[in-house]
């Protein structure tokens, strides 16, 4: 039986992530077809990866067909993770610059990577109800962040999913590359264009642009002294 949240976040309970979740019928059918075509692929909901108590939570869109959907780890094994993990390594969040496979030895320190939608959507485009149904997981991931933590949204859908998880208005927090927004709990939301192949090849997102976002994040984190545990 699925342990997924029902039709929306219940703020009195934590959502229990499960790779057997099938609450989104369209996504479940799509993944069943992918498993039939590619039996060696993970082709199930993809769990968050990284430090269990991070100061930086990175939120992407959804697993990529031949990346996270294949390997079972966010941004691993396809172009979308090339710039991301190289940048995390250069800024001290990762022990190596590449992510190719779940057994490649990659470790993240002070950082965790997740997606707004945990399953591969057809055409890489989740439906609004699928984003809402999956939002309880993101809400809980954010709620576990310490005071002063940073959330980095990669793209507009991830940005809006973070706002949904916090019960915040889209109009009050517009998405813009390089933008910085104050969230409840002393946390901060940063925006960046997604590090997809399309964005990097068309130069919508360049390495220097991505570096600047991370420079701002690291400078912000350096100014915040974590609150002692109660």
Q: Convert the pLDDT of each residue in 16-36 to its tens digit.
A: 899 999 999 999 999 999 999
Over 50: is that where the pLDDT of 66 sits? yes
Q: What is the pLDDT of residue 1?
A: 38
Mean pLDDT to the nearest integer, 136-159: 97
Mean pLDDT score of the chain, rounded to an integer? 92
What residue segments make up the domains of the chain, in order of their start? 25-223
Mean pLDDT to the nearest integer, 112-140: 97
pLDDT band at 227 (very low <50, low <70, confident <90, very high): low
Whole-angstrom distance, CA of residue 56 vs CA of residue 25 = 32
Residues 154-184 have pLDDT tens digits of 999 999 999 999 999 999 999 999 999 999 9
pLDDT band at 224 (very low <50, low <70, confident <90, very high): low
Alpha carbon 135 to chain centroid, angstroms: 11
Q: What predicted TM-score, i.e. pTM, was given to this entire model?
A: 0.92
CATH class, domain 25-223, is alpha beta
pLDDT band at 5 (very low <50, low <70, confident <90, very high): low
Distances in Å between the Cα of 187 and the Cα atoms of 44, 93, 144, 210, 220 are: 31, 18, 11, 20, 11
Mean pLDDT to the nearest integer, 199-224: 95
Residue 85 region, left (φ>0) first, then alpha (ψ -120 to 50), else beta? alpha
Residues 114-127 have pLDDT tens digits of 999 999 999 999 99
Query: In angstroms, what is the C-alpha Rg of the chain?
Result: 17
């Amino acid at each position: 039986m699925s342990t997924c949240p029902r039709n929306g976040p219940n703020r009195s309970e934590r959502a229990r992530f499960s790779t057997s979740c099938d609450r989104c019928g369209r996504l479940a059918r799509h993944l069943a077809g992918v498993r039939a075509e590619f039996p060696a692929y993970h082709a199930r909901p993809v769990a968050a990866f990284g430090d269990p108590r991070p100061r930086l939570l990175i939120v992407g869109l959804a697993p990529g067909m031949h990346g996270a959907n294949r390997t079972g780890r966010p941004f691993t094994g396809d172009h979308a993770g090339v710039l991301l993990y190289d940048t995390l390594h250069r800024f001290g969040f990762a022990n190596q610059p590449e992510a190719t496979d779940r057994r490649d030895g990659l470790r993240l320190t002070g950082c965790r990577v997740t997606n707004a939608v945990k399953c591969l959507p057809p055409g890489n485009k989740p439906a609004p109800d699928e984003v809402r149904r999956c939002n309880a997981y993101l809400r809980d991931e954010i709620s576990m962040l310490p005071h002063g933590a940073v959330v980095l949204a990669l793209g507009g859908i991830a940005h809006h999913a973070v706002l949904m998880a916090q019960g915040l208005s889209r109009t009050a927090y517009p998405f813009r590359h390089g933008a910085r927004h104050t969230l409840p709990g002393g946390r901060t939301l940063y925006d960046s264009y997604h590090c997809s192949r399309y964005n990097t090849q068309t130069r919508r997102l360049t390495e220097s642009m991505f570096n600047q976002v991370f420079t701002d994040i690291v400078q912000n984190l350096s100014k915040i002294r974590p609150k002692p545990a109660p």
